[in-house]
A and B are shown apart, each in its own frame.
Chain A
Amino acid sequence: MRYGSVTAVEQVSFNAHAGRVTVILGPNGAGKTSTIEACEGFRSVTAGSVRVLGLDPQRDRKQLNKRIGVMLQDGGIYPTARVGEVVAHYCSLYGKGVVATEVIKTVGLDHRTKSTWKKLSGGEQQRLSLALALTARPEVAFLDEPTSGVDVNGRDMIRAVIKDLASTGCAVVLATHELDEAERCADDVVIFHQAKIVANGSLESIRSQSYEIRFRSGIAFDVAALAKYLDFPIQNLGEEYVIMGTADAAVIGKFSEWMSFHGADIRDLRAGAQRLEDIFRRLTTGGVQ
């Protein structure tokens, strides 16, 4: 996908599955919104193809619009529109028998039905925008930055609504630049960097490729010798060391023996999968040694 001479998205390929939350993760300008908008039919691709529910988002837009729910990054609601009215309006447009008052209650705005969009807080605006996506009773929902500018309680509510939506069999595709949000919501993750996908798979599988043992030590030791002994690379972060690619108990045992034999102590030992934030940093900054 290109804007003039700028390539917005290149060689992107991923699938989103029914009943799962697929998070498109990447820094601002990485191509997340362009990709979502191509799926929604707002943008055309210069090469390749996009299929949503087996349909071409541009050619079959009329059919597709009846089956997808959309939450735009900037809302798309008139400032003087009232919560109750705008949800009822969208319920009528989709005609799926969704009851406006129930959707409003689901997103926790039942005390704000008479309020206009411009009077809502940032978090409430996001929840109203999410409510409009729900009025479609969607088979696929595209949510662009749904928790952006939302407070902690509001985030909990939005996450719960998203999980509920996926549990009905809806394929939820969510774009965010917030790593913590992605880690809390995602079943599957697609990581974008500089207009390309750098990782794609279930959150579990992506994290399982990044097991590590972290520790500190008050006594200097030969890092290269330890790495050779364990047969795993070790990263020296100054304050902290990371044995990369394993969290295996047997390796931890060997490591403890080696450190003890060489008179080095072990402090703050932690073993497990890397946090998504660390994986993301590694993938988008050229990797670590």
Chain B
Amino acid sequence: MRVLFAQLRSEIRVIARNAEQLLVIIGIPAALLIFFSQVDVLPTNGQTPVDFLLPGIFALAIMSTAMVSLGIATGFERSYSVLKRLGATPLGTGRLVLAKSLAVVLIEILQLVVLYSIAVMLGKEANIANVLVLIAAIFAGTLAFAGIGLLMAGTLRAEINLAAQNGLYLLLLLLGGVIFPLDELPEPLQNVGKMLPSGALADVLRGAITDTAAYGQNSWIVLACWALLAPLTATKFFRWN
């Protein structure tokens, strides 16, 4: 446990000291939630803007932490040989992965508390339709996005990884039904959006938070596939140095 907590402290320190990562983790989701809740420019399927936005913003927050933040940090750790150096200590791969996972979960808890508090201040009623489904969705979403983030971090050069993570973040944000409903997209893009992990997670979270999921079981199937396949693929192709 001593070794695990030592590594966990180090992981959190690296994230907390990185201004760009804090912007992606907290700044962008909070800014989008506040802006589009106050400026009535998006279709919201008959809900109040904040009620419609919150599940998508949760999905965005999970994507930010589990994919972008974890992926970029891990990519640079590879390029600076930090992972290689840790590989010569008693830490071991298992505890390294566990420490990184715990750091992601702790930051997600912080994010969700902050975002939910902002949503309540913006008029959201402070209740969640199904807490257990919410926890399961967060867990599956974290697995899926961490798998994607680590796959890129473990195979691409650090600078390319940085650009690719940010590019994919934007793509998943725009095509994933995160800040506006998928049915506002042209039909071919709708079908793509439904297959994306961001779209599936946002829909599953809508079911858990406001009981307004558009695609029900289909989104769970898509999310489960990503949660299973992305970490497996990352494990297969990840190169430590």
**Interface bin, chain A:** 20 to 34
Known: A77-B80, A89-B7, A93-B89. 5 other contacts (CB 8 A): A65-B89, A72-B88, A75-B80, A80-B17, A136-B89
Q: Name the A residues within 8 Å of B13 (CB-CB).
A: 81, 85
Q: Name the A residues within 8 Å of B89 (CB-CB).
A: 65, 90, 93-94, 136
Interface status of A66 (Cβ within 8 A of chain B)? yes
Q: Which residues of B contact A (CB under 8 A)?
A: 2-3, 6-7, 9-10, 13-14, 17-18, 76-77, 80-82, 84-92, 241
| Contact A95–B3 (Cβ < 8 Å) | yes
**Distance between Cα atoms of A143 and B139 in the complex (Å):** 42
| Contact B17–A70 (Cβ < 8 Å) | no
| Contact A62–B90 (Cβ < 8 Å) | yes
Contact of B7 among A62, A93, A136 (CB under 8 A): A93
Q: Name the B residues within 8 Å of A30 (CB-CB).
A: none
**Distance between Cα atoms of A76 and B87 in the complex (Å):** 10
Contact of B82 among A41, A66, A76, A93 (CB under 8 A): A76
| Contact A66–B90 (Cβ < 8 Å) | yes
Assess A95 versus B2: contact at CB under 8 Å? Given A76-B81, A79-B80: yes
| Contact A74–B81 (Cβ < 8 Å) | yes
Interface status of A244 (Cβ within 8 A of chain B)? no
**Distance between Cα atoms of A206 and B84 in the complex (Å):** 35
Contact of B2 among A75, A81, A92, A136 (CB under 8 A): A92
Assess A76 versus B14: contact at CB under 8 Å? Given A89-B9, A94-B90: no
Chain B interface mostly helix, strand, loop or mixed?
Answer: helix
Residue from A72, A74, A81, A93 with most neighbouring chain B CB atoms (10 Å): A93
Q: Name the A residues within 8 Å of B14 (CB-CB).
A: 78, 80-81
User: Would you give 28 A-B contacts (Cβ < 8 Å), ordered by A?
Assistant: A40-B88, A41-B88, A62-B90, A65-B88, A65-B89, A65-B90, A70-B88, A72-B81, A74-B81, A75-B80, A76-B81, A76-B82, A76-B86, A77-B80, A79-B80, A81-B13, A85-B13, A89-B6, A89-B10, A92-B3, A93-B3, A93-B6, A93-B89, A93-B91, A94-B89, A95-B2, A95-B3, A132-B85
Interface status of A182 (Cβ within 8 A of chain B)? no
Interface status of A14 (Cβ within 8 A of chain B)? no
Q: Which residues of A contact B (CB under 8 A)?
A: 40-42, 62, 65-66, 68, 70, 72, 74-81, 85, 89-90, 92-95, 132, 136
Q: Name the A residues within 8 Å of B241 (CB-CB).
A: 42
Assess A72 versus B85: contact at CB under 8 Å? Given A80-B17, A93-B90, A94-B90: yes
Of chain B, the residue at the smallest CB distance from A117 is B80
| Contact B10–A42 (Cβ < 8 Å) | no
**Distance between Cα atoms of A104 and B185 in the complex (Å):** 59
